[in-house]
Copies of this chain bind each other. A is one copy, B any other.
Amino acid sequence: MSLVLLAGTSNPPLAEAIASCLGLSLAEREATRFPDGEMHIEIRASVRGCDVYLLQSAGPPVEENLFQLLLLADACRRAGAARLTGIVPYLGYARQDRRATGREPVGARLIADLMGAGGLHRIVAVDLHSAALEGIFGMPLEHLTAVPLLGEKLRNDLGDDAVIVAPDLGATKLAERYARLLRLPVAFVHKRRLSGERVTVRGVTGEVRDRTPLIIDDMVTTGGTVEAAVGALLEAGCRPEMTVAATHGLFVGPATDRLRPLPVKRILTTDSVALPDTGSLPHQRASLAPLLADVVSRLHGDRSLSDLIAHA
């Protein structure tokens, strides 16, 4: 069963980098649009009997990237691929895993079901917003983590006064994982109701005064969470020189404008999504390519992934 790497158009540099790590070429394919706007997919190499890895990040525009992934999968399935694994470093709609107010869709489950209907056998994703995505996918979902990868890049930069900061309660488990790796203390920002009458306020739990915060999160989208956390941290007396680390750097909407004025000297993300326009920010990206290449290699060789799995 030959290994075939086939990439959608969502993140070409990452796809190329994974191929390069594996010493392979990406399979030739056409992925254009017909004059009427519909996508046109054609695979140029035989995939019959092959072990195919479809590389496609489901970042914005999610619907197009997702649909292209499904078209690629269908083409592979009909062309006789023996095994179809979707490598989806960033998985959109992961936060829509419940109905918040009643008559809403459960988008995460819909995406999971569409991927199943499209013929994918297995999904590989990185630092999902919720570990329950595993249960939402009927097919096996290998949930990797970029924490060790990002941790290594951060390590040399961190002084003795560093403190890992979860910018909200949802990020505290992630913060613990960074803390264990980097042997640092943890603090977290929280919103809390002070009394029945008074409004909710944001506070910081943990020692941050005169310390240098490393704010971590699974993703930076509009920058709002980081902005609020920076405010709370400054109020709590931390040093005005922070680092932000997140697996997924989407930087959509007002993100760049929001983050530019903040006392953040470094923003580290992976390349899980296509490079957004963050030119004016101190934004660096650590590539997921070695990790994902390793995973492809292990899956193709039927070797264990256990040590790469995100432990919830």
Q: A interface vs B, CB < 8 Å?
A: 35-44, 46-50, 60-64, 66-67, 70-80, 82, 92-93, 95-110, 112-114, 116-118, 122, 130-136, 138, 140-141, 143, 169, 172, 176, 179-180, 182-188, 190, 192-198, 203, 205-207, 221-222, 224, 250, 252-253, 298-299, 302-306, 309, 311-312
Contacts and interface: CB of A to CB of B under 8 A. Distances in A.
A71 B111 CA distance: 10
Given A36-B221, A169-B169, A100 B64 contact: no
Contact of A80 (B118, B176, B302): B302
B114 A135 contact: no
Ranked nearest first, the 4 interchain pairs of A and B with the lowest CB-CB distance are: A49-B302, A183-B196, A132-B132, A46-B304
Given A74-B107, A106-B135, A183-B195, 6 more contacts: A38-B92, A78-B106, A78-B140, A82-B302, A110-B118, A194-B207
A106 B74 contact: yes
Contacts of A196: 179, 182-185
Contacts of A46: 103, 303-304, 306
Contact of A186 (B67, B172, B183, B192): B192
A131 B104 CA distance: 14
A80 B140 contact: yes
Number of copies: 6
Given A107-B71, A311-B101, A35 B66 contact: no
B193 A185 contact: yes
B169 A193 contact: no
A50 B114 CA distance: 25
20 contacts: A37-B60, A37-B61, A39-B107, A42-B102, A44-B103, A48-B298, A49-B302, A70-B110, A74-B105, A75-B105, A80-B299, A82-B302, A100-B311, A102-B305, A108-B132, A114-B117, A116-B117, A132-B132, A183-B195, A183-B197
Contacts of A185: 192-196, 198
Contacts of A136: 109, 132, 135-136
A93 B122 CA distance: 23
A134 B62 contact: no
A194 B206 CA distance: 8
Contacts of A122: 80
A105 B78 contact: yes
Nearest to A163: B195
